[in-house]
Amino acid sequence: MEPPIFLKQIDERIPGFLKDLQPLMKATEQILAAPAGTKLEKAVQAQVAVAAEHFGGMLAASANGFGLPAEAAARNLFDLVVGTLYLMKNPLLLADFIEFGQLTVYRLIKNLSLESPQYEQARARDLAKYDAEIKRLEAKFDKKNFWHGRQVLQTAQAIGIDGMEHLYKIQYKTASGITHGSSYPILSLNEKREWVVGFQKGQWDRYVKESLVFGYSMLDLFYLDVFRLFQIADTINLNQMRDVCMRLNG
C-alpha cells in the first residue's frame, strides 16, 4: 500500500523523520493487534487508536508547514495520554471514564435543534427514557472539566512517570497558549528587548518539528505502560522508540 503523501512531505521538511516514525508505527500496530480481554484493555486500546489519529493529524499539519495547529493538537494528545495513564493506574475509575463520555452524548442530544418532527419525537423519547440517568450523571460530574476531576498537572504528577511532569511544564504550557488563543504566539522581543505584537510566521516554523518531538515523547512514555498492560513481550520497537526520543531530545 502506498504511504500517505504527508509522510513523504514530512521527510522532506525533517530529513530522516520518516525512518524515526517506523518503530512508533510498528509499536502502535502491536498494541492494536493485542488481545483485549477486559473492559479496561478495550478502553486503553481504543485510546491508543485515538492517540495515533491525533499524532497522524499533527504529522499532516506539520508536513504542510502548519506548525501552530500541530502544536495545538499536541496539547489534546497530552490530555489523552495523561488521562489514559491515570486510568490505567486507577482501573476502578473505569466507570467514571465511560460515564463522562456518555454524559457528553446526552448533553449533545439535549442541545440539538431538529427541524424534522420525526427526529424531534425521537429526541424527546430518548431524553425521557434517559432522564434519570442524565440527572444522575450531571450531579456526579457537576463542574468537572475532566472525568477524573483533576487538573492536568495533578494528573501528570499522580501517574508517577519520569518526564511527564517536565513535558507539562515546558511544552504543554506552550501548546495551551496556542490552543486557547492567547497572545503568546504573536509576541516577540525586538532588538531593544521590548515586546512587539505581530505576525511572526518565521518564528512559528519551529513548531513544525517541536510539536512532533513533543508528541513522539508522549507516546514513548505512554506505550511503555501500555506494553506492560498487554504483556507484549516483543519490545524491539519500543526500545527503538526510546532511542529515537533520546536523540530527538538530546
Average pLDDT, the chain: 90
| Cβ atoms 87, 152 nearer than 8 A | no
Residue with cell 495523561: 82
User: What's the predicted TM-score (pTM) here?
Assistant: 0.90
Q: What is the pLDDT of residues 125-170, one digit of tens each?
A: 888 998 999 999 999 998 788 888 888 888 989 998 888 888 888 8
Angle between helices 117-129 and 94-111 (to 10 degrees): 140
pLDDT value at 114 more than 70: no
Q: Between β-strands 195-197 and 187-189, what pairing exists: parallel, antiparallel or unpaired?
A: antiparallel
pLDDT value at 70 more than 90: yes
Between 143 and 43, name the one with better pLDDT.
43
Residue type, 6: F
Q: Give residues with Cβ within 8 angstroms of 155, minimum separation 6.
A: 82, 83, 86, 146, 148
Q: What is the pLDDT of residues 217-246, one digit of tens each?
A: 999 999 999 999 999 999 999 999 999 999
DSSP 45-76: HHHHHHHHHHHHHHHHHHHTT-HHHHHHHHHH
pLDDT value at 1 more than 70: no
